[in-house]
Amino acid sequence: MRVLVVTAVPAERDAVTRACSAFDTVVGGVGPASAAAATATALARAPSPYGLVVSAGIGGGFAPLAPVGSLVVSSRIVAADLGADTPDGYLDVEELGFGRSVHLPPAALAEAIATATGAAYAPVLTVSTVTGTAERAAALTQRHPGAGAEAMEGFGVAEAAALHGIPVVEIRAVSNAVGPRDRSAWRIGDALAALGDAFGKLPPVLESWNGHD
> Is there a domain that residue 26 lies in?
yes
> Is there a domain that residue 141 lies in?
yes
Number of structural domains the chain divides into:
1
Q: What CATH number does residue 38 fall under?
A: 3.40.50.1580
Instruction: Confirm if 22 and 205 have CB atoms less than 8 A apart.
Output: no
> Is there a domain that residue 213 lies in?
no
> Is there a domain that residue 69 lies in?
yes
Does residue 9 carry a pLDDT above 80? yes
Does residue 211 carry a pLDDT above 80? no
> Is there a domain that residue 211 lies in?
no
Residue 156: which of 34, 29, 24, 17 has the closest Cα? 34
SS (HEC) of 52-105: EEEEEEEEEECCCCCCCCCEEEEEEEEECCCEEEECCEEEEHHHHCCCCCEECC
> Is there a domain that residue 108 lies in?
yes
96-127 tens-digit pLDDT: 888 899 999 999 999 999 999 999 999 999 99
170-201 tens-digit pLDDT: 999 999 999 998 888 889 999 999 999 999 99
Residue 210 exposed, middle or buried by CB count within 10 Å (0-12, 13-18, 19+): exposed
> Is there a domain that residue 17 lies in?
yes
The predicted pLDDT at position 168 comes to 98
Domain of 21? 3-206
d(CA 167, CA 1): 12
83-97 tens-digit pLDDT: 888 888 888 888 888
Q: Could you tell me whether strands 71-79 and 120-126 are parallel, antiparallel, or unpaired per DSSP bridges?
A: parallel
Residue 129: which of 67, 96, 178 has the closest Cα? 178
> Is there a domain that residue 212 lies in?
no
pTM score: 0.94
